[in-house]
Chains A and B, each alone.
Chain A
């Protein structure tokens, strides 16, 4: 069915088409068609149906007394999914305000702004829900096939849940615009989105690491969440086929959607106008100039790179969010639990590599003015070296504290940790330099898509160094004879092989 041009349905189809294109459905970063992708995804999806059938057709009927437990499980799943949906909703809301370049075109058209906002929120909801609908489909479809027609309600619950999460995300985004202004909202929403997405992981890690031997607050919180009543509980019940809770959740979703559209569409338009004017406003924010001429080229390049990153809060927040995952490891280091040293060392090594990979991409691949550097008489080697230093120094400086702490408490562990962190950082930076493809900084989030070979080599290399850290420190630590040092050799070989491959397949400039 094709909507009449200018109608809300037509606009919704346009929005969904844009969502498909933006999620890579049309092709790669350079517009290359990926005609093989859709059949492959379809095949995988059908495979999941087969898997679901094999699991479900022999499954005995759930006894009546177990149904509340199933509802509880469904509820827990919805809570987890809800954090992801909220995170995606925030990201999409920010994108619709700040990233999409078509808003002026839409608002200058005769379409009412309320329709534009309604359709955009609807498209965000459908876009976010589509992922979970596709994931749930094999189980639901096979359930219907084997006689559980009430499982069909699962689709409605996912849709309603996505509507609630995305409406809340849009409300929060607009509230942030009102309180903080357009410029800061982009950064804050980005951080909140990442925290929401990682919330379950962080809570689980914090619980495991801090309360492993003393179940207390976290378990009490879980028990509180499991308490009957409220939207979450109703959603869990609805997902297991109860009509009344489903009706309640659907009504809540519809109500929230209409509330968001009715009360905030005017502010959405003003938010867009603020977003459009935020670039010019930003230029006023910078104060003071401390230019110092006559510095050596190395210093000049490093200073320039750090200035560019430090002055881009949006980019900086994306890079520093990786450090969020460092927090649980930091707790362990401070508690000085030697039995967890291998895991901590592996985690720190992985994080150092990950942070360096991001910075190397920004500094080397996303150079804003490569022609300026190439047209200058400066030695390319000095510039490359300075760029590598600028990319590696932040990660090394950040890891210095936990490494020094480890050295102070267990000398061998600290030294080995230092070795793997430094090696992983340097190897990742070199891989990034050899494999980097020219890109713009705005493409930071999608950098993996444009160069998947480089991304895989980076990942394999950092994983190799991480495993090396785990095994080496496990074998060297006190009372840890269970670790086999031969595995350190294998993981080290993997890391070095990845580096060698990165060098062998490096990009040669014309």
Chain B
């Protein structure tokens, strides 16, 4: 019915006294890494929070893998994982306990969750810290653990808000590799970032949002064709200054 569409936003609006997102239409294909870019306050985080089911849109419809988020929130949420820029962690839990809790929230059976948790901690180089409370973790370690939590239930759609903020080069590389692996194995990723080089290198398609509206969308080459070309930074600055 929805073909290859993993996420569809139809005429979605959200107001907080003033409009945060206005009549936003967006479609992210399955197996795609989609970067949502925009200046500060453009409505990126509000959009992602609505997709994650944390905010109800004032108008419009959101479909995740063909499931209507408003009418079947549990079924839709079962397929997605949301990672905000400030990791949703518990300082007094150890990594494995955190993963146990998240797996419990998503109802992952023990036979699947236990090996996946071990694998994720190993992959993200957190195994040697598995007996420590997360309160002593660096920003990068916290972000990686939150990412492990997001992946514990093998989501089909990963929603990431500024996933690379504050990470050192090694941690950023691990996260990027993990996202690319997720996409290669058929998963879908939608992320926001202010690091335009990341979007330039990783994203198959890029959407640029300003004042709550999608002002441009396409591959980097398509966006270049709409402007004077150059790097994504040049394209981004041209498009946002025109709008």
Contacts and interface: CB of A to CB of B under 8 A. Distances in A.
- Are A and B co-members of a single complex? yes
A298 to B, nearest CB: 9
B74 A282 contact: no
A292 B113 CA distance: 10
Nearest to B77: A377
A46 interface: no
Nearest to B113: A293
Given A308-B92, A369-B88, A375-B82, A286 B133 contact: yes
B74 A377 contact: yes
A284 B52 CA distance: 34
Contacts of B99: 291
Interface in B100-153: 100-111, 113-114, 117, 130-137, 149
Contacts of A379: 74
A6 interface: no
Given A286-B132, A377-B106, A291 B75 contact: no
Contact of B117 (A293, A300, A372, A377): A293
Nearest to A288: B131
Contacts of A304: 90, 93, 97, 101
A297 B96 contact: no
A363 to B, nearest CB: 12
A398 interface: no
A417 to B, nearest CB: 34
Contacts of A281: 136
A376 B106 contact: yes
A510 B78 CA distance: 21
Nearest to B116: A293
B130 A289 contact: yes
Interface string A274-285: 000001111111
A5 interface: no
A307 B90 CA distance: 10
Interface in B50-81: 52-56, 73-78, 80-81
Contact of A311 (B77, B92, B107, B113): B92
A99 to B, nearest CB: 16
A368 B91 CA distance: 8
A299 B134 CA distance: 22
Contacts of B54: 371, 374-375
What band does the interface of chain B fall in when counting residues whose beta carbon is under 8 Å from A?
35 or more
B71 to A, nearest CB: 14
Contacts of A368: 88-91
A39 interface: no
Given A293-B114, A297-B105, A300-B104, A282 B53 contact: no
A379 B107 CA distance: 11
B84 interface: yes
A371 B89 contact: no
Contacts of B30: none
A39 to B, nearest CB: 32
Q: Which of A280, A376, A378, A510 has the most CB of B within 10 A?
A: A376
Nearest to B136: A283
Nearest to A281: B136
A221 B117 CA distance: 62
A372 B88 contact: yes
Q: Which of B74, B91, B137, B149 has the most CB of A within 10 A?
A: B91
Contact of A287 (B76, B84, B104, B131): B131
A301 interface: yes
Contact of B100 (A293, A372, A373, A377): A293
- Which 8 residue pairs of A and B lie closest in terms of their CB atoms, listed nearest first? A283-B136, A294-B110, A300-B104, A376-B105, A369-B88, A377-B77, A293-B110, A291-B100
12 contacts: A293-B100, A293-B114, A293-B117, A304-B93, A304-B101, A307-B93, A308-B90, A368-B89, A371-B54, A371-B88, A377-B105, A378-B106
Given A291-B100, A375-B81, A376-B105, 4 more contacts: A280-B136, A286-B133, A289-B97, A510-B56
